[in-house]
Amino acid sequence: MAKSEIVEKLEALLDGRPEWTETEVVYLFVQTRKLLDHAKLETQQDSPHLRFYCDWTVHISKDRIDPITLEVVKKMGEDIEKQIKNPFMYLGKEAINFTYFRSLHHELIKLLTAEGINTESIEDEKSWVQILITLVKILENQPLNIAKRHGLNVASVVFLPAAANCVIMRVDFHEPVVGNDGTSYSYYTLKNAY
């Protein structure tokens, strides 16, 4: 599909969108992924979270791990391990970023703006939260599985079913992480409400 057609479709989708259904959110990420494929290499490299979520949205489980996914998960995993080992000294910023979708939001706006697409409807906090609530429901029980051969301690990442406007993310480890209290943790859970 030509880049101009993708831009037109995204412009039509984002034109004053008051609510976001599952179909529309999936469509947003599918078309955005196509736009990323047309983008220059540096744009793709500057959008790791966006590419990651575009890919994850369309898989019932994601086992094929590309370098971009590895980098996103590596940073999050290292951050989680620091938090487990130093819970009073370190806040898991990457894990929070992951579940709050902060980098995703920034990268999506940056890409669409660069293509001349009006992003007002996704910059609006209420609209963005609706997209996130729907995205979390799309990703529920669609695990991201990372084989040990990739060299990361993160074995899987999954969003679990939660109450409306909430998210529960569980990260399982290949090898337990020992906290500063001597306890071995085989997984990490982060909960958030929007």
Report pLDDT digits (tens) over 131-171: 999 999 999 999 999 999 999 999 999 999 998 888 899 99
Residue 169 CA to residue 117 CA, distance in Å, equals: 32
Q: Does the residue 117 lie in any domain?
A: yes
Total domains in the chain come to 1
Q: Does the residue 54 lie in any domain?
A: yes
Whether residue 18 has pLDDT greater than 70 = no
Report pLDDT digits (tens) over 165-191: 888 999 999 999 999 889 999 999 998
Q: Does the residue 177 lie in any domain?
A: no
The pLDDT value given to residue 117: 95
Q: Taking residues 97-116, what's their average pLDDT? A: 92
Quote the domain boundaries for residue 115. 3-141
Q: What is the pTM of this model?
A: 0.88
Q: Is 171 exposed, middle or buried (0-12, 13-18, 19+ CB in 10 A)?
A: buried
Q: Does the residue 13 lie in any domain?
A: yes
Q: Does the residue 181 lie in any domain?
A: no
Residue 185 CA to residue 178 CA, distance in Å, equals: 6
Q: Does the residue 169 lie in any domain?
A: no
Q: Does the residue 172 lie in any domain?
A: no
Whole-number Cα distances in Å, 138 to 47, 66, 133, 176: 21, 21, 9, 29
Report pLDDT digits (tens) over 65-104: 888 889 889 999 999 999 999 877 777 788 888 888 889 9
Report pLDDT digits (tens) over 115-135: 999 999 999 888 999 999 999
**Distance linking the first and last C-alpha atoms of the chain:** 35
The pLDDT value given to residue 116: 94
Cβ–Cβ < 8 Å for 158, 80: no
Is residue 41 very low, low, confident or very high in pLDDT (cuts 50, 70, 90)?
low
Q: Does the residue 45 lie in any domain?
A: yes
Q: Taking residues 20-44, what's their average pLDDT? A: 89
